[in-house]
Amino acid sequence: MTGKSPKESYTIMNELVLPNDTNTLNNLMGGRLLHWMDIAAAISAQKHCNRIVVTASVDNVSFQSPIKLGDVISIEAKVTRAFTTSVEVRMDVWAQNIPSGTKVKSNEAYYTFVALDNDGKKTQVPVSLPETEEEIALYEGALRRRQLRLILGGKMAANDATELKALFFGEQLPLNLKA
């Protein structure tokens, strides 16, 4: 199975914020943005895997400033790292107001997807081949983010999170975290 670079999964999705997408303050509803992000990230994951994918997890997403009715949302998504059957997708979300010429970063997020075969079973995904410095940094950081989300999802014991332990404690592990 040949590998794929992040640019092969690069996806950009644009949406115009319409009245039906907003709350009573005329701001984009957070849930609607998460829905669009799920779609953009799934398309990116599909491009990497050439498979149907399902969302396994959504990392913490914070909304830094309100997005207004009439703004254009741009969601940029790309696969940062493939593991065995799963891929991590990073998204950068921008809110643009075309008449006033402003464009601000709304949020960043990581979603994880699992690839399925034609029988709906988990299946192996192509490896990631990062090329640029930024892609390599995202690739390396993906291991720590994966361990954190697996611990939070109840899929990994904190004691097994070697990357996180090294990050937080270096060689000086507290007694209760020593293997």
Residues forming the site for ligand COA (CB under 6 A): 54-57, 83-86, 112, 114, 122, 149-150, 153, 155
Closest to ligand COA by CB, 88 vs 135, is 88
Closest to ligand COA by CB, 27 vs 57, is 57
CA distance 51 to 58: 19
Given a contact cutoff of 8 angstroms between Cβ atoms, the answer to whether 179 and 161 are in contact is no
Closest to ligand COA by CB, 52 vs 69, is 52
* Beta-strand pair 52-58/86-97: unpaired
Closest to ligand COA by CB, 86 vs 106, is 86
CA distance 15 to 26: 16
Distant-in-sequence contacts of 97-105, Cβ < 8 A, 24+ apart: 97/68, 97/70, 97/71, 97/72, 98/72, 104/65, 105/64
